[in-house]
Every structure is written in structure tokens, then in C-alpha cells.
Amino acid sequence: MKKINWRKYLAPLVILYVVIWVGFCGWAAHQSRNNYWLVEREATPTVTPLFSLGDDDWCAILANPAFASKSPNERMGIANKKFEEIKSVADEIGHDLKALKAWYYRTATDFEHYPVRVFRTSALGQDMVQGHYRDLRESGFPKPSVARVFWRYLFTRESMWGALIVLPFLVIPLLVIVGSCAALLSKKLSLKWKILTGALIATIFVEGWLIKFSHSQPVSLGMFNFYDSGDYVSAEGTWTSDTKLATPLQVTKLDCWQNWNHCIEATAEVFGGSLSVRTSYWEIENWGQDELTFKENTNPVCVNERFRIDRKNKVVTYTRATKQPKPDNCSDISDEPIVSYLTDGWKLQHKKR
């Protein structure tokens, strides 16, 4: 039996290990480039639509009248305390700590130069006011350094051991693919074995494609359901509209009771990579035989909301219209009404695919 010379395979394995190792570090560096956690918390919450703005976030602190009433030394003390709280996390995602500290001091000094905004989030056209903040988009917030993150991870135990763990899981599929391709090109292999080998290669590629495609759809939306027992009406589905919605990945459950004269709307939605649940209460204006109408929701600052359930045709409609005259803080809200319908979520996903 011919003895296998393992030494000639050592160099390719080492090269593959180094590629995986560097790939780990490159992935970490890429993640830091897309990490908006610090800028949306401290500088401007409008980078990505969040659902909360805390009073201890820097842009909210600067908008607080209590901050303006303090002396310059006290403001610097607050800025330094805030920097100390976040510097360890900021260092991990590649921020230049010296530049970041200077930014806190600078914005604490000239905070009045930045306009105060009303923080709003929009989900299915509904505006929810969260508070006030200073718009620091033009304040020169220091961006994280991809190179700094890369070199930090390059010589850590996590990256070295991670590459070593992944190595066999990558080598085995490569050997299968290379061996299968060599078998297909071999003249000694019969036709039926070549067909079987080709099917094996195709299966590997199809499964890899399905795994990659499934990551682009983090959730699977359900079907539209409508139930009407006379004194109780329920509907479940996904909101859709001709206007682009802020949260297309969402499912809503609506329960209405005639004796209570209210409906509860519960919506689960994926927004910015996070899953959240919100509830709304709608007071029924008329429980008719063919339709349910609701009192207009005027709580939101910028818009008026209407709700309607067509019992005969099993259609649920939500309408949002901007208040007129438009409030000063609502200049970024479109004047065009938004009409949404509850429908099959899985059909929407299939259509997009």
C-alpha cells in the first residue's frame, strides 16, 4: 500500500488557515464599519430609526434646558463622565478615543449651535414622539477605523482559535468538491457514477444557495385570516401599501369586541435587525352589520389616523393623513395620505423574491 506523504498537504492547509484567520479579522473590521450604535445613541438618532431615545443619551442631554443652565466647567464634567461611560465600547468598535473625547468637549461647549429636533419614529405611518435632541449630524462625529479593528483582532486568541475550528469544516467540503470534479474528468469512472457524482456537486451548491437566500429573509410572514362571529371580529395579516412602509416585515393581530366597544391591535415587526411588539387601542364608533368604523386617532403629533373593517368583503383598512395646517416639527412628513391594507404576508415575500 502506497504511503501517503502528508507533508505536501501541510503547506496548502497552512495557507488556508491563514486565509480563514485573516477573513475573521476582516469580517470584524467590516462589522465595525456598519456599527451605528454609538452615533445613533450619542450624536443623532435619525441615522437608523430607533424606537427609544433615553434622557442619558448625549444628543438628548444637550437639548435639556438643565444642561444649558450649568456652568462651563460643569458641562465639561458631564462630557467627561459621558466619555468615560462609553470609551471601552467605543474602543472595541474602532473609535479613536482621543478624537472622541475631543468631540464630547467640543459639543458640550458649542451645543447651542446645533438645532433642537423632535425625535419621532414611524411605523405603518404612525408617529410616536419620544423627546427632544440636538441634531449633531454636522458636528464632525469621529468615525470608527476599520484598520484599527482589523489589527486588534489579528493577534487575539479568539481569531486564531476560531480559524482553527472552522478549518476542518471548510477542508472537508473542498475535498469533496475537488474529488468529485476529478472523478467527473476521470476516464476510468463509469457513466452512472459520474451522474451520481454530478448530482452530489449540484446538491452541495443548491443547499449553499438556499442557506444564503434564507439569511436574506429573517422571518417568514403568515397568511391573512379573518373571523367574524357577530359580536367578535378578528383579523391577522401583514400591512401593505402602495407607499413604502417603514417596517415591511411585520404581522398584525386585531381583536374587536362589541360589548367592550374597542379593538386591540398588536403588531410584531422587525426593524433595524430587532424584533419589537407594539399595541394600539381603537374605540369603535359604529358596529354595523357590513362594516366597523372607528373614532379618529388624533394622539400623534403630526398625523390623524383612521381605521375601517369591511365585514362583508373581509377588508381591513388603515389611513394616515398629515394634519393641516402642518405643525412646525412635522416638515419631514409627507402631505400625501397613506392607505394600508391587511393582507397575506407570505405572498408579499414571494412577490419580492
pLDDT of residue 309: 93
User: Which of the listed residues 89, 109, 143 is the one where a domain comes to its end?
Assistant: 143
Q: Are residues 178 and 296 in the same domain?
A: no
pLDDT of residue 298: 59
pLDDT of residue 164: 80
Whether 77 shows a pLDDT value over 90: the answer reads yes
Whether 47 shows a pLDDT value over 60: the answer reads no
Q: Are residues 338 and 230 in the same domain?
A: yes
Q: Are residues 234 and 161 in the same domain?
A: no
Domain span including residue 173: 7-26+151-215
Better-predicted residue by pLDDT, 113 or 325: 113
Q: Are residues 67 and 171 in the same domain?
A: no
Instruction: Look up residue 186 and give its three cell numbers.
Output: 476521470
Is residue 78, in this structure, part of any structural domain at all? yes
Q: Are residues 308 and 238 in the same domain?
A: yes
How many residues are recorded in the chain?
A: 353
pLDDT, tens digit (0-9, with 9 covering 90-100), for 206-263: 777 766 655 555 567 778 999 999 999 999 999 888 877 777 788 999 999 999 999 9
Is residue 278, in this structure, part of any structural domain at all? yes
User: Which of the listed residues 143, 166, 197 is the one where a domain comes to its end?
Assistant: 143
Is residue 318, in this structure, part of any structural domain at all? yes
pTM comes to: 0.49
Q: Are residues 241 and 339 in the same domain?
A: yes
Q: Are residues 161 and 13 in the same domain?
A: yes
pLDDT, tens digit (0-9, with 9 covering 90-100), for 82-140: 899 888 888 877 788 898 899 999 999 999 998 888 775 544 444 455 678 888 888 88
Residue 139 · residue 114 · CB < 8 Å? yes
Count of structural domains, the chain = 3
Q: Are residues 99 and 178 in the same domain?
A: no
Whether 182 shows a pLDDT value over 80: the answer reads no
Is residue 286, in this structure, part of any structural domain at all? yes
pLDDT of residue 352: 53
Q: Are residues 70 and 174 in the same domain?
A: no
Q: Are residues 239 and 331 in the same domain?
A: yes
pLDDT of residue 131: 72
Residue whose C-alpha is closest to residue 340's, from 49, 121, 50, 126? 126
Q: Are residues 310 and 231 in the same domain?
A: yes
Look up cell 468615525; give the residue: 143
Q: How confident is the model at residue 329 (pLDDT cuts 50, 70, 90)?
A: low
Is residue 260, in this structure, part of any structural domain at all? yes
**The domain that contains 248 carries what CATH number?**
2.40.128
pLDDT of residue 194: 75
pLDDT of residue 50: 44
Residue 294, amino acid:
F
Residue whose C-alpha is closest to residue 159's, from 57, 335, 23, 299? 23
Q: How confident is the model at residue 73 (pLDDT cuts 50, 70, 90)?
A: very high
Sequence-distant (6+) residues with CB within 8 A of 53 are 45, 60, 119, 130, 131, 133
28, 32, 97, 100, 178 from 145: Cα distances, Å: 11, 8, 11, 12, 39
Q: What is the mean pLDDT of residues 313-330?
A: 82
pLDDT of residue 177: 72
Is residue 2, in this structure, part of any structural domain at all? no
Q: Are residues 163 and 137 in the same domain?
A: no
User: Which of the listed residues 101, 124, 143 is the one where a domain comes to its end?
Assistant: 143
